[in-house]
Chain A
Amino acid sequence: MDRKLLWLLFFMVLSLGGTSQVYFTRNGFTGFYSKTPFEDIAAENSQVYAVLDLANKKLAFAMLLRGFQFRKELMQEHFNEEYVESDHYPKAEFTGTFTGPGNLTDPGSHSIEVTGVLTLHGVSRPLSTPAELIIMPGKVTATANFDLTPGDFNIKIPSVVRYKIASVIHVKVNAQLFPR
């Protein structure tokens, strides 16, 4: 998705509905982790863009795949050049909605269910995951943990290194959003 479409998407989330309580960040955190007996892999990105509309229960996330940092140089190279092909597919995006019991705009911790579409490596897939919103005056913290399968996004792991990479990757999301 190019820059103009991304702005349009964010504007749509901002403009839909009546009274909006819209929160935004440019520095959300996403990490993905793979554990095997041969190797543990961790990659972290702290430049995740997110917008959350509390009143209309919509949210969107976007990040540059080159923003993921690994502990080993070679892993980072392989990730960008061979697995996610970040030159061709530079961004990962999620757009969706969330539901949960009670009034989700009240201060406090809320367990929610997020449903939407994740686009990665040129493939869009539905994604649902439980998440948590912590509403405080002037700040919303959103956290989620879920699993992804690289093959679902047409990410091919060479057989030579397949034993080093878990078939299911664990993803952590943590974003502190502030009023837009």
Chain B
Amino acid sequence: MMKKKRFLFLLLAIIAVALGLAFALHYINRPPENVADMAAVAEIQADSLYATYLSQERRGDSLYLNKILIVTGTVQQKGRSGPHFFIILSTGGQGGINCEINSADSSEVANITTHQPVKIKGRCTGFLMDVNLTDGVLIK
């Protein structure tokens, strides 16, 4: 009887350790969260976003850096950089909103034309002549 209890206890302990390891491995190796599934903290016009960063970069960072935004604007330029596609939204200023498009949406970029109004959801990574968004998805 005691032997049976000890065996069951050992078995349960092994299962618990195995589950813990599996969870830890999943956590360590998890891919980046898909922006399409994440809630945006703000929906904003391209020119407003650019103006915020142009006037006060630190304020822009405090509001938007590393956050998910939905940006509406018109296409100034689109293209490809290595394995990634990009769309630049015009802002009326010297810079734009530089959106790197998620590879899952890359086929959609072919259908986009210059001057077309679009809505892009992406993660803001900061300001460097343009306001940069990564992992962008086109919102229909």
Contact = CB atoms under 8 A, between A and B. Distances in A.
B93 to A, nearest CB: 12
A116 to B, nearest CB: 18
B83 interface: yes
Nearest to B30: A73
A72 to B, nearest CB: 6
Interface stretch (A1-9, A98-106, A148-156): A1-9
Contact of A27 (B66, B98, B126): B98
A63 B127 CA distance: 10
Interface in B50-100: 57, 65-66, 79, 81-84, 86, 88, 98, 100
Contact of B83 (A3, A44, A64, A91): A44
Q: How large is the interface on A (under 10, 10 to 19, 20 to 34, 35 or more residues)?
A: 20 to 34
Interface string B100-130: 1000000000000000000000000111111
Interface string A98-135: 00000000000000000000000000000000000000
Interface residues of B, number: 28
A46 B100 contact: yes
B66 A73 contact: no
B129 A49 contact: yes
A29 interface: yes
B123 to A, nearest CB: 8
Interface in B23-52: 27-33
A47 B132 contact: yes
A14 to B, nearest CB: 13
A34 interface: no
B100 A47 contact: yes
Nearest to B132: A47
Name the residue in A27, A28, A176 with the highest tally of chain B Cβ atoms < 10 Å from its Cβ.
A27
Interface string A16-58: 0000000000111101000000000000101111000000000
Interface of A: 2-3, 6-7, 26-29, 31, 44, 46-49, 62-64, 66-67, 69-74, 76, 90-91, 174, 176
18 contacts: A3-B57, A3-B128, A3-B129, A7-B129, A46-B81, A47-B98, A47-B100, A47-B125, A47-B132, A64-B125, A64-B132, A66-B65, A67-B132, A67-B134, A69-B135, A72-B28, A73-B33, A74-B29
Interface of B: 27-33, 57, 65-66, 79, 81-84, 86, 88, 98, 100, 125-130, 132, 134-135
